[in-house]
Structure 1
Amino acid sequence: MPAASPHPPGQPYVQLGGPSPYLGAEWEAQPNRSRRVLILCHVGMLIHFPVHVAMFLAVFAFILAFSLVGEFVFVVFFFLEKPAFRLLDRGLVSLPSGPSGGRRGGNCVTRASPASPGAVSRRC
């Protein structure tokens, strides 16, 4: 038979005087914030959110404009496309999340050294 619940079903659990029994003894309620602090937090949020949205839109517009200019340049000056791709590949290789994982050449092999246990040899 299941144990009886500490309070009637469907009723909210209310305990007067002290923290809930589900919380540890070290728990303390945070002090109430004053009206002035709440107003300042709200005004800060009203300023902060639109600034972040504007920054996101500005970065998006910059990337879009940069790519459109690049596309136009490569359509008009088609002979620059291959050097630009080589430059892009050279730059992406040095990034850790690039096509080769931050390694030059992309074909690095790590093997355990048979000469000394625990040592590894890396060949790129």
Structure 2
Amino acid sequence: MTLAKAAAEVRERAWVPYSRFKVGAAIRAASGKVYAGCNVENVAYPEGTCAEAGAIAAMCAGGDYKIAEVYVIADSPEPVPCCGGCRQKIAEFAGPDVRVTMATTDGKEKTVTVAELLPGVFSAAHMDRA
């Protein structure tokens, strides 16, 4: 299954009774397996979960820990970028050259690398002590 198809399918299952803004994300792990996630809202904002975070959680639950590619889709006039928290979450599991495609339900796409998505990323190297 393509990442675009996996993201579009899971987007339809998003739980968004408050914003009505469905988002789907699909990740191809380095193993080749595809993992998907959708946004899940909660009346106690901000306790919801982003689609990207859901896909990452599914990936980890599946025993994979390295992202090879990301695809995110939403019903928006322009491709919607990942929030700051999800950018950091993606960077935790993906190298700087990994492609992240943001898409609309009507076919517009924008692809960037993780480095372009999150310049100046905070990494484990920042926590190393001399």
Per the TM superposition, whether the score is higher than 0.5 is no
In our comparison, the structure showing a higher alpha carbon Rg is 1
Identify the TM-score tier after normalising by the shorter chain.
Answer: under 0.3
Structure that is richer in strand per residue: 2
Greater relative contact order: 1 or 2 (C-alpha under 8 angstroms, separation 6 or more)?
2
- What TM-score, normalized by structure 2, do the two folds share? 0.24
